[in-house]
């Protein structure tokens, strides 16, 4: 056979081999996390989901209950803040006419995606600290806590915003012009027309929300200086938002880097849970996108 044809086959084979090599770490990672995670959870089933962290260095593997609740609370509050802002901003950007606010926002959002997430956490902490010191300087009693679930949620909301915004913006722009014209010709205000358009791209928006929520759930660095971490279930009603809180990601980070074998084991269990939720979310987004 001609060398050119041989080279062609070789090249194609190389591409496939590299691809497989590249996907192997992912498969291996999922496998390792699953195996170690299930092993860890089975040591304390179902207590693993409710109990608090075990004493370091002991035999017990304990549980990650408070972390799960922490992640849920942080993600929920972050979503409550981030989702409306992202969607409304994207709507404004795509539907506004005579103003430059929209394009400017888009440019800023693009830089946001580049932010190291730790910087976001850092600045939220910094802002709160300045406010706190400022209020005290004026002589007012400052209710601003340094570490709180709320500041953690704000940091997460900042991180999720660019993803949701971009998704909504792109999908609104892709609505065929004749459809947009039709909607506007119905005579409603811009608000109502925007609402109709949003419903039209519902699937895409849900996908974007899914991506944003997934990102928020999986972040660690921004929580280091905001939520701080806690080993206990949040209590006290809404006040709990103003106190430090734990999260699955923080727990994994702390426990994995410690030298205690029971903590390391527990971190695999927590990692498995986090991974399972992430994959479930990912699959759900895929299904929604393909249906819609």
Partner 1 sequence: MTPIRGFLKGKDLFGLIGISNLAIIATVIIIVAILGIEGLRIFIKEGVNFISTSVWSGVRERYGILFALGGTLITGVMAISIALVMAVASSITIVEILPRRLKPLISSLVDLSASIPTVIYGLWGLFVLAPLLANIAENPLLSALKSYLGSPGSLGTSLFTGSILLSIMISPFATAIVREALYSVPKYVDEALYSLGLTRFEVIMLKVRYIRRAILVAAMVAYGRAVGETIAVSMVVGNVVNPEFWKILNPGYTIASLIADQYQNAESYYYMVPAIFGAALILFAIGLAVNIAVIAISRGARYGD
Partner 2 sequence: MGVNRVLLATIAVLAIVVLGAIAYTMYIQSPKQLSPSPATNMANTPMETRSSSQSSQLVFSYGDITVKAVLPSKPITITGGGSTFVNIQMQSWIQRFRSVSGGLVIVNYQSIGSGAGEAKWFDRSLDFGASDIPISNTTYQRLVASGSDFIQIPVVAGSISIIYNLPSWDENRCGPLRLSGEVLADIYLGKIIYWDDNRVKELQIEECRSLLPHEPIRAIHRSDGSGTTALFTLYLSDVSEEWRTRIGYGYTVEWPRDALGYGEGGRGNEGVAAKVKGTAYSIGYVEYAYAIVNRLPTAAVKNKDGNFVKPSPETVSEALKRGAKNLPPPNAYWGDVPKSFINREGPNTYPIAGLAYIFIYKDIAKDPDMARAISVFLKWILTEGQKPENLVEGYLPLPPELARIAVKYVEQGLGI
Residue number with CB closer to partner 2 (57 or 103):
57
Q: Which of 158, 172, 201, 245 binds partner 1 (CB under 8 A)?
A: 158
Which 30-89 residues touch partner 2, going by CB under 8 A?
A: 47, 50-52, 54-58, 60, 62, 65, 69, 72-73, 76
Given the structure tokens 């109502």, which residue do they identify? 192
Q: 48 or 253: whose CB is closer to partner 1?
A: 253
Is residue 226 within 8 A of residue 147, CB to CB? The reply is yes
Residue with smaller CB distance to partner 2, 42 or 58: 58
- Distance from the Cα of residue 33 to its chain's centroid: 20
Of 28-36, 58-66, 170-178, 230-238, the window that binds partner 1 (rule: CB under 8 A) is 28-36
Report yes or no: 273 and 64 within 8 Å, Cβ to Cβ: yes
Contact residue for partner 1 among 60, 96, 145, 292 (CB under 8 A): 96
Applying the rule CB under 8 A, the residues between 37 and 76 that interact with partner 1 are none
CA distance 29 to 31: 5
Closer residue to partner 1, CB minimum distance, 104 or 182:
104
Contact predicate 222/120, CB 8 Å: yes
Closest CA to 120 of 273, 5, 223, 230: 223
Considering only the stretches 15-23, 32-40, 96-104, 253-261, report the one whose residues sit in contact with partner 2 under the rule CB under 8 A: 253-261
For partner 1, give the closer residue by CB, 175 or 284.
Answer: 284
- CA distances, 262 to each of 6, 31, 50, 256, 266 (Å): 55, 20, 17, 10, 6
165 touching partner 2, by CB under 8 A = no
Site membership for partner 1, residue 147 (CB under 8 A) = no
Residue-level length of the chain? 292
Q: Is 33 in the site for partner 1 (CB under 8 A)?
A: yes
142 sits near partner 1 (criterion: CB under 8 A): no
CA 127 to chain centroid: 22
Segments of 251-291 assigned E as strands: none
DSSP at 176? -
What track of x and - describes contact with partner 1 for positions 244 through 263 (by CB under 8 A)? Answer: -----x--xx--xx------
CB of 250 to partner 1, least distance (A): 9
274 contacts partner 1 (rule: CB under 8 A): yes
**Residues 207-236 as x/- pattern, contact with partner 1 by CB under 8 A:** ----x--x--xxxxx--xx-----------
DSSP string, 226-255: TTB--SS---SGGGGGGS-B--HHHHHHHH
What does the block give as tokens for 173?
């722009």
> Residue 158 corresponds to which tokens in the numbers above?
């900042």
Which residue ranges make up the site for partner 2 (CB under 8 A)?
Answer: 47, 50-52, 54-58, 60, 62, 65, 69, 72-73, 76, 129, 146-147, 228-238, 240, 243-244, 257-260, 287-288, 291-292
């Amino acid at each position: 056979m001609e060398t050119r044809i041989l080279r062609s086959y070789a090249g194609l084979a190389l591409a496939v081999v590299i691809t497989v090599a590249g996907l192997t770490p992912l498969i291996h990672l999922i496998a390792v996390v699953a195996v170690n995670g299930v092993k860890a959870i089975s040591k304390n089933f179902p207590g693993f989901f409710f109990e608090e962290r075990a004493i370091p260095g002991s035999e017990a593997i304990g549980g990650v209950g408070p972390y799960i609740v922490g992640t849920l609370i942080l993600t929920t509050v972050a979503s409550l803040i981030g989702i409306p802002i992202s969607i409304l901003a994207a709507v404004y950007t795509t539907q506004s006419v005579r103003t430059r606010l929209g394009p400017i926002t888009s440019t800023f959002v693009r830089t946001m995606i580049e932010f190291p997430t730790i910087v976001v956490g850092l600045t939220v902490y910094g802002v709160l600290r300045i406010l706190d010191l400022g209020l005290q300087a004026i002589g007012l009693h400052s209710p601003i806590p340094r570490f709180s679930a709320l500041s953690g949620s704000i940091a997460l909301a900042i991180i999720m915003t660019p993803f949701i915004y971009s998704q909504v913006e792109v999908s609104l722009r892709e609505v065929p012009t004749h459809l947009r014209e039709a909607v506007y010709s119905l005579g409603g205000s811009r608000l109502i027309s925007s609402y109709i358009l949003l419903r039209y791209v519902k699937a895409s928006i849900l996908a974007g929300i899914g991506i944003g929520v997934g990102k928020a759930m999986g972040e660690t660095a921004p929580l280091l200086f905001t939520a701080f971490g806690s080993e206990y279930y949040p209590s006290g009603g809404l006040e709990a938002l103003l106190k430090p809180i734990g999260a699955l990601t923080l727990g994994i980070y702390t426990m994995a880097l410690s030298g205690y074998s029971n903590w390391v084991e527990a971190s695999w269990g927590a990692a498995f849970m986090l991974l399972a939720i992430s994959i479930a979310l990912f699959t759900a987004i895929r299904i929604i996108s393909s249906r819609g």
